[in-house]
Amino acid sequence: MKRRQFLGRMGATVALSSAPGMVLAASCSNSDVSLSPIQARTDRITDVRVGLRPFRHAGPRIEAQRLGTKTVVHNYGHGGAGWSLSWGSSRLALRLAHDAGARSVAVIGCGAMGLTSAVLARQAGLAVCIYTKDMPSDVYSMAATGLWTPDSQLCDAVHAPRLAARWKEMANASFARYQTLLGLPGKPVEWIRGYSLSDTPFGAHSEAEEGEPVYGRLRDPSHDFIPRPVELCKGSHPFGQPYVRGWTTLMFNISAYAHMLLTSFLASGGRIKVIEFTRPGDLSNLREDTIINATGYGARKLFGDDSIVPIRGQIARLIPQPEVAYGLSTSQFNVVPRSDGLIVRSKGHNGDFNNSNDVPDLAESESAVRRIASMFDGMRRF
């Protein structure tokens, strides 16, 4: 079979869900769609960075407390669901700030939660200043893969029932907000298709990693925000794996998206100041009467919150390929086709949970890129 014909025999576009054991249609799809190959070479790696996801067994901390004469509203601890839940979570935080009688707001941190909290506070007419140790290009949020994953590593299974109602409110508000950002210049948010590949039937083995908790699953597969995944028939796709699912989901082009948020905030009259706080008492000198603490993993040190467990996540960025408009997911790697580059995240190795090492490991990313290259070599030999 010619390479062009081979790569063209592809299964249907459709949908993603992080929920295991999802009930799918009994029949599989034989639809065809073209697929451009990924140029998976280590010399195309342009950036490697590490983010520390702030996981809390009980889920995010969104609550107010008094600090001297000021009110501090905490908005952190979202695990791998930070970008996905940011609008809904920040709306809850702003509600608490209003309840405290806020006239001016200091936002601490400028990752996903900090930026959205600041934008919403300005839209509400409040005077807002972001205080941050690092600018958006250097925060941990920038090391996210950039997919809609609203319950990823958000809480453990024991706490999920108690979090369900609040999660639904956050997810609904965030998803609605993202619908207003589709089609904008720079494509800060867009829909993409992708494929999950497996050597064994989906749902046949546990997703739990050794040493990690069983994570709570809050998405309802019968009424989800995105289309449901579809099994692709054997022979209808070029992949070597026997089990393939097609999916569709939202993707955040994080570089463009974060730039849009920061630009919008500054254009509305918001201010930003680069400064590092080392203890809660440092915040008492701020001139704003209300503080939104959106420091993510940084809250562990700043507020002594030992309930935060770091989950290490490393991504590599390859030179962009505009013709590659699909994602891939296997037990060993993820590929996300963002506009700022093809994002490659290695998977399938223990040791990321409760790992605060944020030093990039180039060898880890190079190994993942080689696995992708090997997969495409196998497809060409099929």
**Would you place residue 29 in the very low, low, confident or very high pLDDT band (cuts 50, 70, 90)?**
low
The CATH number that applies at residue 63 is 3.40.50.1100
In a domain, 184, yes or no: no
**pLDDT in the model for residue 4:** 37
Query: Is 213 found in the same domain as 328?
Result: yes
What is residue 240's predicted lDDT score, i.e. its pLDDT? 85
Q: Are residues 240 and 267 in the same domain?
A: no
23 and 125 share a domain? no
Of 307, 324, 349, the one marking the end of a domain is: 307
Whether residue 259 sits in one domain with residue 166: yes
pLDDT in tens, 35-50: 899 999 999 999 999 9
Domain-embedded: residue 162: yes
Q: What's the whole-number mean pLDDT along residues 76-86? A: 98
In DSSP notation, 360-378 reads --HHHHHHHHHHHHHHHHH
The model's pTM is: 0.89
- Mark whether 17 and 38 lie in a shared domain: yes
pLDDT in the model for residue 35:
82
Q: For residue 2, name the pLDDT band (cuts at 50, 70, 90).
A: very low
Give the range of the structural domain holding residue 163, as residue numbers without chain letter: 57-170+254-307
Count CB atoms within 10 A of the CB of residue 199.
Answer: 10
Domains of the chain: total: 2
Residues 118 and 224 grouped into a single domain: no
Ranges of H-type helices in the chain:
3-8, 82-99, 112-123, 160-179, 254-267, 299-302, 362-381
Q: What is the pLDDT of residues 143-196, one digit of tens each?
A: 999 999 999 999 999 999 999 999 999 999 999 999 999 999 999 999 999 999
Q: Please report whether residue 139 resides in a domain.
A: yes
Are residues 83 and 160 located together in one domain of the fold? yes
Residues 315 and 302 in one domain: no
User: Which residue type occupies 69?
Assistant: T
Q: Using one digit for the tens of pLDDT, what is the confidence trace for 297-341?
A: 999 999 999 999 999 999 999 999 999 999 999 999 999 999 999
Of 276, 292, 307, at which residue does a domain stop?
A: 307
* 249 and 259 share one domain: no
Q: Are residues 95 and 80 in the same domain?
A: yes
pLDDT band for position 30 (cuts 50, 70, 90): low
Whether residue 185 lies inside any domain: the answer is: no
Same domain membership, residue 150 and residue 84: yes
Q: Is residue 177 part of a domain?
A: no
Mean pLDDT of the chain: 89
Q: 181 lies in a domain?
A: no
CATH assignment at residue 247 = 3.30.9.10
Q: Are residues 271 and 303 in the same domain?
A: yes
Measured CA to CA, the distance from residue 121 to residue 106 in angstroms comes to: 10
**Any domain includes 180:** no
